[in-house]
Amino acid sequence: MFKQFLYYWLRITLSVVNRIFYRNIHMVGEENLPANKPVIIASTHTNSFLDGVMIMSLIERMSYSLARGDAFLNPKFNRILRSMNLLPIFRATDADPRESVRRNNEMFDETYELLLKNKAVIIFSEAISVPEKKVRTVRKGTARMAADMMKRSNMEMDLHVVSLGMNYGHFRGPRKSLTLKFGKAIKLSEYIDEIKNTEAKFVNHLTKNLQVEFNNQMVIAPEGQEETFDELLHIAASEHPIDPLMQFDRSEREFRFEKEIGEVVAQEGNNALELTSSYLKKRNSLGLTEYKRYNSGQKWLQSIHFVLTILPSLLTMILHGWIMPMAKRMTPQKIQTPVFFDSVYMGIILLGMYAAGLVFFPISFFVYGWGGVLVYWVLRWSLPAYYQNAELWSNWSVKRKWKQLEKKNSSMFAELVGLRQEILEASIPAKD
């Protein structure tokens, strides 16, 4: 327990920070993770260190994640990272080739012991991390590890492999959506003969299977047009908004909606992205953005939420409001490559939350006793409500600007609305 202190502490802290960093988190198909069974979670890898941290903080069962081995070479960092349930896997470039092989054999031994205890181990099957909405070539390492684990147990381990697609709304900092799409569990006991007799065939078979699964689990942007595609998704989502108060929505609705749009836009001859570019030029020249068109029931719930939480969330903002601006200022100074942007950004927010707790927790206790500590934690938990309320207020404000445009320049308003409708008709799949 003590050796995994940071793992448990991260899960507790991220229960708050996740609700600040993300607008919505969707867990789709988590029931496909077998309970009390050894599992290898084979995941896509678009957001560096953050991918493993998010998976471990969001799934219900305890898990361990493989991470680049060079970060473990320092003994102090090795202890810290292992306390977070991270295990080193070495590439040829991370250390001397012979040393890498030796250390990886040790890691396989550790992984095997964990799987014998029915733990879940996360491996990133694309091997490299690039912040793009696409699926890269799946490497054979995942399948080879799975085969090795089965052989070590004399084919007696009830090992499962579950694919996972990590879908981030964008890679530019906080207030985004995140969808974790789990695939059906692959039961390796059904491939015992193949592993025994033709292991290379099994490795190729499982690798191709994962490639297909990842393509089905990821929202894929057209090559070279990711920013325009993101804007198109934003436009489409404003017509079919998910209530911002439903942060941990396990429904597949939003993922399927975005996946279908990506498939429609990718079709030959589709002009949705060209229409989006034209629309954005005209809309942005007027200083406008999109607003979400909620139904009457959602509006009532949001109004009640706003009234009930505005006061405590403002008090919390006074105590913690410096954290997000600090992270925004510091992050560009701390990164060298874009793939680490979100990881560094969230890391600074975590440090800011720790610092705030170290300052305000003892003050609350010294001044008001345990009652003050309780009030502080209630206020701390209400911090996400501030960002929700700020975005609701922003949505109302943007809606007023569109109403003003309609009154002052009805022809331009009608042109934008017409162009927007063309985008929706070109990108949203027709219902049967």
Per-residue pLDDT tens digits for 249-259: 556 778 888 99
Residue 224 is assigned to a structural domain of this protein: no
Range of the domain at 410: 229-427
User: Where does the pLDDT of residue 213 fall: very low under 50, low under 70, confident under 90, or very high at 90 and above?
Assistant: very high
Kindly report the backbone phi and psi dihedral angles of residue 212, in degrees, each rounded to the nearest multiple of 5, phi listed first.
Answer: -65, -45
Interatomic CA distance for residues 209 and 163, integer angstroms: 9
Residue 334 has which token pair?
Answer: 């701390």
Shared domain check, 283 and 168: no
Specify the pTM: 0.92
How much is the pLDDT for 245? 55
How much is the pLDDT for 1? 55
Tokens 């879908």 — which residue?
A: 167
Residue 95 is assigned to a structural domain of this protein: yes
Q: Pick the more confident residue, 335 or 324.
A: 324
Domain end (from 188, 218, 248): 218
- By percentage, how much of the chain surpasses pLDDT 70? 96
Shared domain check, 247 and 145: no
Length of the chain: 432
Domain end (from 162, 189, 218): 218
Shared domain check, 63 and 135: yes
How much is the pLDDT for 27? 92
Shared domain check, 260 and 212: no
Q: Pick the more confident residue, 23 or 278.
A: 278
Q: Pick the range with the lowest mean pLDDT from 200-209, 365-374, 389-398.
A: 365-374
User: Where does the pLDDT of residue 386 fall: very low under 50, low under 70, confident under 90, or very high at 90 and above?
Assistant: confident
Shared domain check, 240 and 203: no
pLDDT > 90? residue 215 = yes
Residue 432 is assigned to a structural domain of this protein: no
Shared domain check, 252 and 396: yes
The full DSSP string for 186-238 is EEGGGGHHHHHH-HHHHHHHHHHHHHHHHHHHS--PPTT-HHHHHHHHHHHHH
Shared domain check, 49 and 29: yes
How much is the pLDDT for 335? 79
How much is the pLDDT for 74? 87
Shared domain check, 237 and 195: no
Domain end (from 218, 240, 272): 218
- Contact between residue 73 and residue 93 where contact means Cβ atoms under 8 Å apart: no
**pLDDT tens, residue by residue, 247-294:** 555 567 788 889 999 999 999 899 999 999 999 999 999 999 999 888
* DSSP one-letter code for 240: S
User: Where does the pLDDT of residue 374 fall: very low under 50, low under 70, confident under 90, or very high at 90 and above?
Assistant: confident
Q: Pick the range with the lowest mean pLDDT from 120-129, 154-163, 331-340.
A: 331-340
User: Where does the pLDDT of residue 242 fall: very low under 50, low under 70, confident under 90, or very high at 90 and above?
Assistant: low
- For residue 398, with 0-12 CB atoms within 10 Å meaning exposed, 13-18 middle and 19 or more buried, which class applies? middle
Q: Pick the range with the lowest mean pLDDT from 24-33, 240-249, 369-378.
A: 240-249
pLDDT > 80? residue 149 = yes
Element (H, E) at 27: strand 22-28
Shared domain check, 188 and 309: no
**pLDDT tens, residue by residue, 40-53:** 999 999 999 999 99
How much is the pLDDT for 69? 86
Shared domain check, 417 and 272: yes
User: Where does the pLDDT of residue 361 fall: very low under 50, low under 70, confident under 90, or very high at 90 and above?
Assistant: confident
Residue 223 is assigned to a structural domain of this protein: no
Interatomic CA distance for residues 340 and 331, integer angstroms: 10
Number of separate domains in the chain: 2
Helix (H, G, I), strand (E, B), or coil: what is residue 137?
coil
* Average pLDDT rounded to a whole number, residues 12-32: 91
Shared domain check, 91 and 15: yes
pLDDT > 60? residue 243 = no
* DSSP one-letter code for 428: S
CATH code, domain with 33: 3.40.1130.10
Residue 430 has which token pair?
Answer: 């027709």
- Contact between residue 222 and residue 265 where contact means Cβ atoms under 8 Å apart: yes
How much is the pLDDT for 251? 65
Interatomic CA distance for residues 280 and 59, integer angstroms: 38
* Average pLDDT rounded to a whole number, residues 351-371: 88
How much is the pLDDT for 364? 86
pLDDT > 90? residue 94 = no
Interatomic CA distance for residues 204 and 181, integer angstroms: 23
Q: Give the start-end residues of each E strand in 103-232.
A: 120-124, 160-168, 176-182, 186-187
Residue 205 is assigned to a structural domain of this protein: yes
pLDDT > 60? residue 226 = yes
Residue 261 is assigned to a structural domain of this protein: yes
Residue 280 is assigned to a structural domain of this protein: yes
Residue 343 has which token pair?
Answer: 């990881």
Interatomic CA distance for residues 347 and 343, integer angstroms: 6
Q: Pick the more confident residue, 238 or 248.
A: 238
Element (H, E) at 67: strand 63-68
pLDDT > 90? residue 408 = yes
Shared domain check, 265 and 135: no
Interatomic CA distance for residues 197 and 215, integer angstroms: 29
